[in-house]
């Protein structure tokens, strides 16, 4: 029995190394969210191997979709639309999700919408909330991006700042790698930093008061590398934890300071935080404290929707579907699709 009035959307996300499928009602009610991680596949290489990622997506996409429908207790005929990430991301990975979504949309005769992965990260703060204040300023800080976006509506996001070099997530991953914490780096670094003393090392806060609303993390990464080389093995116990804590503290300082400064300059009273790095507890705590001190309202994406997931894709997909922004079978992957630019 078709129940399109519930606004059910199936989301499919394969832009990098997680195979994700989810069913969301009315753009905000998550009925299911399946994330099939490939971490164990890439761990021995210390990073994502694109060819392996694509092949694993091929194996896992349909089972993940079936699981998400089963978990939600719905069938294909209940869906109003199918939403798929079209970019940015790894082209081979994107193509697996796109081909799957196009084939299913044709065979189920279901409308298809194309979603921008970075906008979907910013949309994650809408999930589970009946209403979200607009406009608000969103810091989206993930593996490949560090963006400040002015969210005027789910369909109108304007990029006001981004990184001049590395993303914060990339810096977490690289620092974790050369401190020997393993892969994936962000969560491992956070765990080790919790045992360290951030004041044991003085690290720079690059472009904290310059370059407008843009960020830079490559100099900080290099500073950590230099300090690590100075601390030859056999030096005092715990220097790695101290250096991890100092790096995390510097990164959080820059992210929080620049977000608050941008909100002030743009006259925005509400800020939000999303993307994989937004699951970092130090960042969430520092942003919460600073927002409270500044009288800003803060929207935190739920940790399960910070790292890659398809619920954020399905949610934004519903908004696109309602606005009539449909894709067709000619839809192609857009590995470099910038947020705020429509259509792909």
Ligand X SMILES: Nc1ncnc2c1ncn2[C@@H]1O[C@H](COP(=O)(O)OP(=O)(O)OP(=O)(O)O)[C@@H](O)[C@H]1O
**Pair 313, 84: CB distance under 8 Å:** yes
Q: 280 touches which of ligand X, Mg ion, none (CB within 5 to 8 A by kind)?
A: ligand X
Q: Is residue 85 within the footprint of Mg ion (CB under 5 A)?
A: no
Give the x/- contact pattern for ligand X in 140-179, rule: CB under 6 A: --xxxx-----------------------x--xx------
Q: Is residue 308 within the footprint of Mg ion (CB under 5 A)?
A: yes
**Judging by beta carbons within 10 Å of its beta carbon (0-12, 13-18, 19+), is residue 209 exposed, middle or buried?**
exposed
- Which residues does 60 contact at the CB level (< 8 Å), separation at least 6? 19, 36
Least distance to ligand X, CB of residue 48, Å: 8
Pick 160 or 313: Cβ nearer ligand X: 313
**Judging by beta carbons within 10 Å of its beta carbon (0-12, 13-18, 19+), is residue 45 exposed, middle or buried?**
exposed
Pick 173 or 241: Cβ nearer ligand X: 173
Radius of gyration of the chain (CA): 20
Q: Is residue 277 within the footprint of ligand X (CB under 6 A)?
A: yes
Number of residues that bind ligand X (CB under 6 A): 24
Interface residues for ligand X in 190-209 (CB under 6 A)? Answer: 190
Pick 81 or 189: Cβ nearer ligand X: 189
Q: Is residue 307 within the footprint of ligand X (CB under 6 A)?
A: yes
What residue has token string 């009035």?
A: 5
β-sheet bridge partners, residue 114: 84
Pick 102 or 145: Cβ nearer ligand X: 145
Pick 190 or 242: Cβ nearer ligand X: 190
What CA–CA distance (Å, rounded) separates 342 from 183?
35
E strand or H helix at 10:
strand 8-13
The tokens for 95 are 């193509």
What CA–CA distance (Å, rounded) separates 334 from 78?
29
Contacting positions for ligand X (CB under 6 A) = 15-16, 89, 117, 121, 142-145, 169, 172-173, 184-187, 190, 275-277, 279-280, 307-308
């Amino acid at each position: 029995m078709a129940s399109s009035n519930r606004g059910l959307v199936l989301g499919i996300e394969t832009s990098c190394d997680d195979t994700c499928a989810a069913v969301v009602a009315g753009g905000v009610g998550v009925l299911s969210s399946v994330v099939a991680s490939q971490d164990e596949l890439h761990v021995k290489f210390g990073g994502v191997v694109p060819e392996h990622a694509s092949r694993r997506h091929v194996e896992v996409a349909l089972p993940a979709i079936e699981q998400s429908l089963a978990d939600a207790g719905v069938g294909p005929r209940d869906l109003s639309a199918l939403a798929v990430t079209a970019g940015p991301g790894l082209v081979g990975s994107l193509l697996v999700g796109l081909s799957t979504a196009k084939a299913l949309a044709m065979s189920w005769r279901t409308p298809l919408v194309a979603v921008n992965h970075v906008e979907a990260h910013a949309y994650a703060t809408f999930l589970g909330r009946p209403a979200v204040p607009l406009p608000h300023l969103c810091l989206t800080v993930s593996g490949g991006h560090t963006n400040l976006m002015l969210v005027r509506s789910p369909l109108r996001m304007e990029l006001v700042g981004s990184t001049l070099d590395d993303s914060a997530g990339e810096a977490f991953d690289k620092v974790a790698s050369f401190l020997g914490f393993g892969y994936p780096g962000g969560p491992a670094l956070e765990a080790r930093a919790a045992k360290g003393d951030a004041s044991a090392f003085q690290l720079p806060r690059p472009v904290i008061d310059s370059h407008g609303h843009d960020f830079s993390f490559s100099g900080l990464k290099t500073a950590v590398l230099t300090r690590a080389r100075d601390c030859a093995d056999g030096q005092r116990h715990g220097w790695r934890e101290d250096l991890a804590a100092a790096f995390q503290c510097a990164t959080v300082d820059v992210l929080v300071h620049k977000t608050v400064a941008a909100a002030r300059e743009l006259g925005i009273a509400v800020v939000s935080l999303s993307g994989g790095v937004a699951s970092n507890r130090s960042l969430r705590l520092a942003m919460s404290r600073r927002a409270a001190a500044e009288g800003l309202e803060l929207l935190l994406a739920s940790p399960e929707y910070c790292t890659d997931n398809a619920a954020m894709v399905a949610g934004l997909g519903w908004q696109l579907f309602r606005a009539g922004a449909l894709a067709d079978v000619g839809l192609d992957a857009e590995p470099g699709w910038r947020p705020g630019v429509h259509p792909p």
